[in-house]
C-alpha cells in the first residue's frame, strides 16, 4: 500500500489523519507531558518581530538622571521595580499560569513557585489545578496540589514583594477555587499583606476561543468526568483521554458582572483578567478595566504549556504585537504574555503599552534545566538585558518606555520630547 | 492581623446564665415565629440539608462538600433554590433551616458571623418586593411583641431594656436605597465601593446611627446571587433588600424578588461566574415553569443577638462554630 504519491502536498500529515482520526488534530500524544507547544512561525510573523527599538541621540531624561545622581548614569541605574496588578515586583515580569498539565508538575510547578517566591516575582497558578490535582487540605498534601504550590511560593517570599494569583475558569467554579483559597488559613499571610489575587480566565493564547485541554490517563479522567467533557480522540480502547474545559460564554455584561462579583466577594484580593487574543480584545480590556480589574493580561497567539490543536497554534488568534497596538491601556495595568523570554521582546511589549510581561514556556524550560536556580538565572539575564535596553533609550524605569522608543513601518512618527529651536524635527518622508 | 475570638468551652458556655437566658429567649422567638407565620397561612417544611448544588451567592465563603455515593454534594449554605422549588407544592412556605458557610477568616471578628447558623427562611409565590417587606416587618414585630411579654425574665437577666424596641413596634421600618446608603457613607468619609455589598464597617456605621430596623433596597447587580431579580425598569439594579438592625447590630435578613424565567436565570448564572451545567435539576424545573416569588432569610442567631443585646452572635447558640476556630 501507500504507493500513491502527492508531490508538494502534505502527504504525511494526511496519512496521519487517515490512520489516527481526530487524534491527528494534535501533536503526537507521545510528546504530551514532555514538550511545550507554540506557533512554528512558519505561517505568520508577529508585528513585534518587525519592530526595532530606536534609541535617541538626545536624551533629556538621562539629563534628569545625571542631575539626580551628580554623575553619568549607566544601565545599572535603571530601577526595574514595577507595580504589577497591585503587587510590587523587582522586575516587570511575572510567571504566567501553569495549569494541571503534566509538564507543569509535580517538580517543575513546585520549582517555579519556590524560585519565583524567592525573587518576589508574582506568580499565577493556573486553572483546573484544584479540580484535577486537588487542593491538598485534607490528608496528605499531594505533590501537584494547589496548596503545595502556594506553600512553596509563600514560604520564600521576601517582605513587600510579589503576589500569588489563583486562576479560575468556568468549570473551576464548581470546585469553588477562589472561595477555597480566600477562606483557607494557609493563604492568610498573603491576604493580610495584600499579596493575594484572583485571575478570571476568559481565554488563552494557545487556543483562542476554546477552553483548556489536557490529556489524562483513563483513571484520572473517570475521577473528573462529572466536571469536564471527555473526548475519546485517542480511541475507545486507548488509556488516554482528552479532557476539555468549555471556553465559557461571555458577553460584555457577563464579563463586567463577573469582575464586579469578584470584587464584591473577595474585596481584599486583587482582580486580574486574562484574555485570549480575540479580535475584540480592545473592547474586552476596556470592559474589564471599567469594571475595576487591577490587571488585564493579553495572551498573544503564541503557544502554551498545555495541549492545543495544531490548527490553533499557527492559524488562530491575533499576534501579541497586534493586540498591544489595538489596546489603549491609559493609566491601567496591561500585562502581556506570549513568546517572551529575553529582553528585546519584553521592552517592545513595554513600549506598546504593557506594564509587565509574563513568562510561560520559558519559565518551564528554565526550571526544567535547573530546578534550584534555572528560573532565577533566566530572570537575572532578562533583567540585565532590560537594564541595557531601557538605558539605551535614555530611560531609567520600565514605565518610561513608550511608543516613542520603537520604529516600525507604519507606526506613527515619534514626537520629540526636546524642543529644538530652528530645526525641523519632523521625520523626512 | 487580629486574632479571632475564642468562645469558652462547652461546660462553661452551656452553664452560664447568659447562655441559658439567650437560648430561652430564642426558644420564645421561634415559638412566636411559627405562630405568626402559621396564622398568616404559611406551611412549615423541614429544610433540606444537602444537595447537588446550594446557594452560590454568598460572599467569599466556601461550601462544604459531601461525598454522596461517590458524587460531590453540598451542605446547604442556604436553601434558596429549594424554597423556589417548594412553591410547586404550596404558595407560602417557611423553614427554620440550618446553614453551613466556611466564611473568610476575617469574619471571625465581625461578632456576627458563624460558620454554622440558622435562618427563618420564608418564600411566597406571586408577590413582589413591597409585599415581602411587609411580611418581614410583620414577622419581626410579632416576635418582638411576643418576647417582651413571654421572655421578660430572660431579657432582665440579659440586662436588655425593652425600651429599645418602642420605636420598632410603633413606626414603620425605614427604607433607603443602596445608592443612598453609599452616598451617606461617602459623606461620612467611608470608602464604600458603589458596585458592591455594603461592607462590614459601612453596615455597622449605618446601623449605629439608626434607632429602628431599616431596609436597604436595590443592591447593584454583581453584589448578589443569580436568583435576586434584576429590575426591568432599572437595568443593573436588583429588586432585593437587607434588613439592618439598629444600635450597631447590623444585618439581620436578606431577601428579594426572585428571577424565575429560564433565560434570565441562565444569563444571570453566567454573570455570577456559575457553570449552568451543575444546576441540571434546577434549570430543568425552571424551564418547565416555576412561580414568580419573593422571600427572605432572617438569621436566627443574629436576631437573637439583637433582641438579647449581646456582644457576639456566638453567645446565642448552644454549640458555636466561629469561622476558622477549630475544636480539637
Alpha-carbon distance of B119 to B198, in angstroms, equals 21
B223/A264 touch (CB, cutoff 8 Å), yes or no: yes
CA end-to-end span of chain A, whole Å? 62
Characterise B309 by phi-psi region: left (phi > 0), alpha (psi -120 to 50), beta (else).
left
Residue with cell 446608603: B181
Per-residue pLDDT band at A169 (split at 50, 70, 90): confident
Q: Give mean pLDDT, residues A189-215.
A: 90
A261/B222 touch (CB, cutoff 8 Å), yes or no: yes
Exposure of B92 in the CB half-sphere (CA atoms within 13 A): 13
**Cα distances (Å, whole numbers) of residue B182 to B56, B63, B192, B245:** 25, 29, 6, 18
Other C-beta atoms closer than 10 Å to the C-beta of B209 total 13
Alpha-carbon distance of A371 to A364, in angstroms, equals 10
ipTM: 0.87
Nearest to A295 by CA among A211, A231, A347, A358: A358
Report yes or no: A293 and A255 within 8 Å, Cβ to Cβ: no
Nearest to A137 by CA among A98, A183, A168, A101: A183
CA end-to-end span of chain B, whole Å? 23
Dihedral, CA of residue A379, residue A382, residue A387 and residue A392, to nearest 10: -170
Q: Are strands A295-299 and A270-275 parallel, antiparallel or unpaired?
A: parallel
Alpha-carbon distance of B83 to B94, in angstroms, equals 8
Chain A hits for B324, Cβ within 8 Å: 183, 185
Average pLDDT, chain B: 94
Q: How far is B222 from chain A (nearest CA, A)?
A: 4
Q: A255 to chain B: nearest residue by CA?
A: B271
Chain B hits for A202, Cβ within 8 Å: none
Q: Report the number of secondary-structure helices (H) and strands (E) in chain A.
A: 16, 17
Helix, strand and coil content of chain B, in percent to the nearest 5, comes to 40, 20, 40
A226/B72 touch (CB, cutoff 8 Å), yes or no: yes
Q: Which of A171, A251, A264 sits opposite B222 (nearest CB)?
A: A264
Residue B10 has pLDDT above 70, yes or no: yes
B91 Cβ contact list (under 8 Å, min separation 6) = B124, B125, B126, B291
pLDDT digit string, tens, across residues B101-148: 999 888 888 888 999 999 999 999 999 999 999 999 999 999 999 999
Alpha-carbon distance of A234 to B165, in angstroms, equals 71
Could you name the CATH architecture of A38-212+254-407? Answer: Alpha-Beta Barrel (3.20)
Give Cα B135 distance to the centre of its chain.
14
Question: What pLDDT was estimated at residue A414?
Answer: 54
Residue B155 has pLDDT above 80, yes or no: yes
Question: What pLDDT was estimated at residue B145?
Answer: 97
Radius of gyration of chain B (CA): 19
Residue B277 has pLDDT above 80, yes or no: yes
Q: How far is A186 from chain B (nearest CA, A)?
A: 11
pLDDT digit string, tens, across residues A355-387: 999 998 889 888 888 889 999 999 999 999 999
A188/B105 touch (CB, cutoff 8 Å), yes or no: yes
Q: Give mean pLDDT, residues B290-303.
A: 98
Radius of gyration of chain A (CA): 23
Residue with cell 502527492: A6
Chain A hits for B104, Cβ within 8 Å: 182-183
Cβ-based contacts under 8 A for chains A and B: 92
Report yes or no: A163 and A132 within 8 Å, Cβ to Cβ: no
Question: What pLDDT was estimated at residue B245?
Answer: 97
Per-residue pLDDT band at A106 (split at 50, 70, 90): low
B63/A176 touch (CB, cutoff 8 Å), yes or no: yes
Name the least confident of A103-117, A337-351, B236-250.
A103-117
Domain residue spans in chain A?
38-212+254-407
Question: What pLDDT was estimated at residue A105?
Answer: 58
Alpha-carbon distance of A273 to A294, in angstroms, equals 8
Question: What pLDDT was estimated at residue A428?
Answer: 45
Three-state SS string over B41-105 comes to CCEECCCCCEECCCCCCCCCCECCEEEECCEEEEECCCCHHHHHHHCCCCCEEEEEEEEECECCH
pLDDT digit string, tens, across residues B23-55: 999 999 999 999 999 999 999 999 999 999 999
Domains, chain B, with CATH or none = 10-316 (3.30.930.10)
Q: Give mean pLDDT, residues A217-236.
A: 81
Q: Which of B60, B196, B278 sits opposite A183 (nearest CB)?
A: B60
Question: What pLDDT was estimated at residue A141?
Answer: 58
Three-state SS string over A179-212 comes to HHHHCCHHHHHHHHCCCEEEEEECCCCCCCCCCC
Amino acid at each position: 500500500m501507500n504507493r500513491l504519491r502527492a508531490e508538494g502536498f502534505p502527504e504525511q500529515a494526511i496519512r496521519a489523519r487517515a490512520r489516527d482520526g481526530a487524534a491527528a488534530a494534535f501533536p503526537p500524544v507521545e510528546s504530551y507531558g514532555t514538550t511545550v507547544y507554540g506557533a512554528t512561525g512558519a505561517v505568520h510573523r508577529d508585528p513585534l518581530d518587525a519592530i526595532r527599538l530606536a534609541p535617541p541621540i538626545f536624551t533629556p531624561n538621562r539629563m534628569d538622571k545625571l542631575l539626580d545622581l551628580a554623575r553619568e548614569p549607566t544601565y545599572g541605574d535603571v530601577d526595574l521595580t514595577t507595580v504589577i496588578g497591585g503587587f510590587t515586583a523587582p522586575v516587570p515580569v511575572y510567571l504566567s499560569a501553569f495549569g494541571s498539565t503534566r509538564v507543569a508538575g509535580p517538580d517543575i510547578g513546585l520549582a517555579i513557585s519556590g524560585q519565583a517566591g524567592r525573587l518576589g516575582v508574582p506568580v499565577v497558578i493556573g486553572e483546573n489545578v484544584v479540580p484535577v490535582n486537588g487542593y491538598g487540605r485534607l490528608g496528605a498534601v499531594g505533590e501537584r496540589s494547589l496548596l503545595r504550590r502556594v506553600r512553596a511560593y509563600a514560604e520564600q517570599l521576601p517582605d513587600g514583594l510579589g503576589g500569588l494569583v489563583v486562576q479560575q475558569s468556568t468549570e473551576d467554579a464548581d470546585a469553588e477555587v477562589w472561595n477555597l483559597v480566600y477562606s483557607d488559613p494557609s493563604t492568610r499571610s498573603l491576604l493580610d499583606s495584600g499579596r493575594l489575587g484572583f485571575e478570571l480566565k476568559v481565554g488563552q493564547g494557545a487556543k483562542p476561543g476554546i477552553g483548556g485541554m489536557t490529556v489524562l490517563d483513563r483513571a484520572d479522567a473517570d475521577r473528573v468526568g462529572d466536571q469536564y467533557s471527555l473526548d475519546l480522540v485517542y480511541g475507545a480502547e486507548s488509556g488516554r483521554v482528552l479532557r476539555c474545559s468549555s471556553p465559557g460564554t461571555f458577553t460584555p455584561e457577563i464579563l463586567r458582572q463577573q469582575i464586579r462579583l469578584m470584587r464584591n466577594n473577595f474585596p481584599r484580593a486583587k482582580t486580574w483578567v486574562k484574555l485570549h487574543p480575540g479580535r475584540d480584545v480592545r473592547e474586552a480590556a476596556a470592559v474589564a478595566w471599567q469594571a475595576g480589574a487591577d490587571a488585564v493580561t493579553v495572551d498573544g497567539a503564541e503557544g502554551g504549556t498545555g495541549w492545543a490543536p495544531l490548527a490553533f497554534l499557527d492559524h488562530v488568534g491575533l499576534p501579541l504585537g497586534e493586540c498591544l497596538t489595538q489596546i489603549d491601556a491609559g493609566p491601567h495595568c496591561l500585562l502581556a504574555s506570549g513568546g517572551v523570554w529575553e529582553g528585546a521582546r519584553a521592552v517592545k511589549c513595554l513600549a506598546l503599552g504593557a506594564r509587565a510581561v509574563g513568562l510561560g514556556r520559558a519559565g518551564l524550560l528554565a526550571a526544567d534545566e535547573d530546578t534550584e536556580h534555572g528560573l532565577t538565572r533566566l530572570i537575572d539575564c532578562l533583567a540585565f538585558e532590560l537594564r541595557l535596553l531601557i538605558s539605551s533609550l535614555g530611560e531609567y524605569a520600565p514605565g518610561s518606555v513608550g511608543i516613542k522608543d520603537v520604529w516600525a513601518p507604519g507606526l506613527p512618527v515619534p514626537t520629540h520630547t526636546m524642543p529644538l529651536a530652528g530645526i525641523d524635527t519632523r521625520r523626512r518622508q | 492581623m487580629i486574632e479571632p475570638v475564642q468562645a469558652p468551652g462547652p461546660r462553661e458556655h452551656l452553664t452560664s446564665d447568659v447562655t441559658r437566658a439567650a437560648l430561652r429567649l430564642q426558644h420564645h422567638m421561634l415559638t412566636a415565629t411559627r405562630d405568626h407565620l402559621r396564622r398568616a397561612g404559611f406551611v412549615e417544611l423541614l429544610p433540606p440539608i444537602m444537595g447537588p448544588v446550594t446557594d452560590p451567592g454568598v460572599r467569599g465563603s466556601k461550601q462544604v462538600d459531601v461525598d454522596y455515593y461517590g458524587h460531590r454534594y453540598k451542605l446547604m449554605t442556604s436553601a434558596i433554590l429549594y424554597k423556589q422549588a417548594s412553591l410547586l407544592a404550596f404558595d407560602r412556605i417557611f423553614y427554620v433551616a440550618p446553614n453551613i458557610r466556611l466564611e473568610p477568616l476575617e469574619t471571625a471578628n465581625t461578632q456576627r458571623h458563624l460558620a454554622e447558623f440558622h435562618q427563618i427562611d420564608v418564600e411566597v409565590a406571586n408577590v413582589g418586593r413591597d409585599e415581602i417587606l411587609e411580611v418581614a416587618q410583620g414577622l419581626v414585630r410579632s416576635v418582638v411583641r411576643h418576647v417582651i411579654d413571654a421572655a421578660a425574665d430572660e431579657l432582665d437577666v440579659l440586662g436588655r431594656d425593652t425600651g429599645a424596641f418602642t420605636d420598632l413596634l410603633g413606626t414603620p421600618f425605614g427604607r433607603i436605597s443602596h445608592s443612598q446608603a453609599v452616598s451617606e457613607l461617602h459623606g461620612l468619609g467611608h470608602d464604600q465601593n458603589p458596585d458592591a455589598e455594603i461592607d462590614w464597617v459601612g453596615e455597622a456605621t449605618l446601623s449605629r446611627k439608626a434607632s429602628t430596623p431599616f431596609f436597604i433596597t436595590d443592591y447593584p447587580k454583581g453584589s448578589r446571587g443569580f436568583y435576586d431579580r434584576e429590575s426591568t425598569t432599572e437595568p443593573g439594579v436588583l429588586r432585593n433588600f437587607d434588613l439592618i438592625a439598629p444600635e450597631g447590630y447590623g444585618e439581620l435578613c436578606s431577601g428579594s424578588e426572585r428571577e424565575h424565567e429560564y433565560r434570565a436565570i441562565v444569563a444571570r448564572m453566567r454573570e455570577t461566574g456559575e457553570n449552568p451545567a451543575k444546576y441540571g435539576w434546577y434549570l430543568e424545573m425552571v424551564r418547565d415553569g416555576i412561580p414568580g416569588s419573593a422571600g427572605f432569610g432572617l438569621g436566627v442567631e443574629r436576631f437573637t443577638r439583637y433582641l438579647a443585646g449581646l456582644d457576639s452572635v456566638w453567645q446565642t447558640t448552644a454549640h458555636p462554630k466561629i469561622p476558622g476556630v477549630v475544636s480539637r
